[in-house]
Chains A and B, each alone.
Chain A
Amino acid sequence: MIYLQLFLEFFHIGLFSFGGGYATLPFLFHIAETQHWYTAKQLTDMIAISSITPGPVGVNVATFAGYTTSGVIGALIATSSVVLPSLIIVLIISKLLEQFKHNNYVKSVIYTLKPTGCGLLAAVGVNMFLNDMSLCGIILFLPLLILSFFKKLDPLFYLGISALFGLVLSFIKPVF
């Protein structure tokens, strides 16, 4: 049953993703490979849309994936499933806040999980880079990357410049 599958997949994303919105991406790409609910190309479009619409990217992508799979009900299930683990975990922690902060095992697990989340995200970054890059991509990517070394800019600046570059390019270049 598709609804149950959606619930399980997105619940496990909420439970295991570590390190913010883009940390859901490794899981979403894994779903693309295993469940065939959407393709990696569709997911890349979803990520682009999610980055320029309001709300946490993780929630956007969950809603989108749920909707493409089985309509509004799918979207509702995916979105609530992805935040349900947060709700359970945070409510428990709020009640046990003091013990939680000072437990050595908890500290050691967090200490190990942080670089894990970083490694997973780095892997996604590399894979997306290899999939998406073309000559025009490099022409846009490299200057922005170099700029980011020197100046701390609003994330929206990068998205705005990139969108503008893509828009202009669409009038010159026949296909993407």
Chain B
Amino acid sequence: MEKNLYNIYKTFFKVGTLLLGGGYVILPLLQSELVDKRNWIDNDELCEYTALSQSIPGLIAANLSIFVGYKLRRTGGALAAISGMITPAFLCIIVLAKILEEVIKLKFIQGIFWGVGIGVLILIYLAIKEIWHKSVIDKFTFTVFFIIFLLSVFLKISPALLVISAIVTGVVRQAILNRKKPEGEK
């Protein structure tokens, strides 16, 4: 399939439609659509983009689409990919939001929502576990985790403020490391 903007949009529209239950399923979907079926990128590139997407702010699915789109057709490709990714989500929610107020009065719908709410707690727990394995790897990262957790649960400090403090901590940490090490050994 030719790598034109329309095809990029269409491919990501398809992936966005199949993306159910959280962003972590995006990797196998992209592997099947972009690597296996279309040969647009290879597996190594996809893995590198995934790692990068997880280490910068923003939704992983959005970051990953933009990386791949950019690789395919520069800025235009990035725009086509991200638009394709969010269109199904957008349309679906707009339609649902319109009927939601009526629908939510039905008792069995309330029951389903209640159940899914509990299921989401399991998914959040699994997401925490997965991120934990990758991020809490030594004393320093454990301390950061614990302090952020306590400040967020008990003091309800704004998450943005905590993220900014973490960025500052990261920079200061590196500056201290640089000073400790002799020149030229960085």
A-B contact count (CB 8 A): 367
The answer to whether B6 has its CB under 8 Å from any CB of chain A is no
Q: Within 8 Å CB of B136, what residues of A? A: 115, 118
Q: Is the interface of B mostly helix, strand, loop or mixed?
A: helix
Bound-state CA distance A14–B159 (Å) is 12
Min CB gap B172→A, angstroms = 9
A59 touches B94 (CB 8 A): no
Bound-state CA distance A171–B107 (Å) is 8
The answer to whether B47 has its CB under 8 Å from any CB of chain A is no
B145 touches A119 (CB 8 A): yes
Q: Within 8 Å CB of B153, what residues of A? A: 123, 126-127
Return the contact of A57 from the options B23, B85, B96, B159 (Cβ within 8 A): B23
B108 touches A116 (CB 8 A): no
Q: Within 8 Å CB of B89, what residues of A? A: 53-56, 59-60, 63, 79
Interface pairs A-B: 10 shortest CB-CB: A166-B115, A55-B89, A170-B111, A162-B119, A119-B148, A114-B135, A109-B170, A86-B58, A112-B170, A123-B152
Chain A interface (Cβ < 8 Å from any Cβ of B): 12, 14-22, 24-27, 30, 33, 44-45, 47-60, 63-64, 67-68, 72, 75-76, 79, 82-83, 85-87, 89-91, 93-94, 101, 104-105, 107-129, 132, 137, 140-141, 144-145, 148, 154-156, 158-171, 173, 176
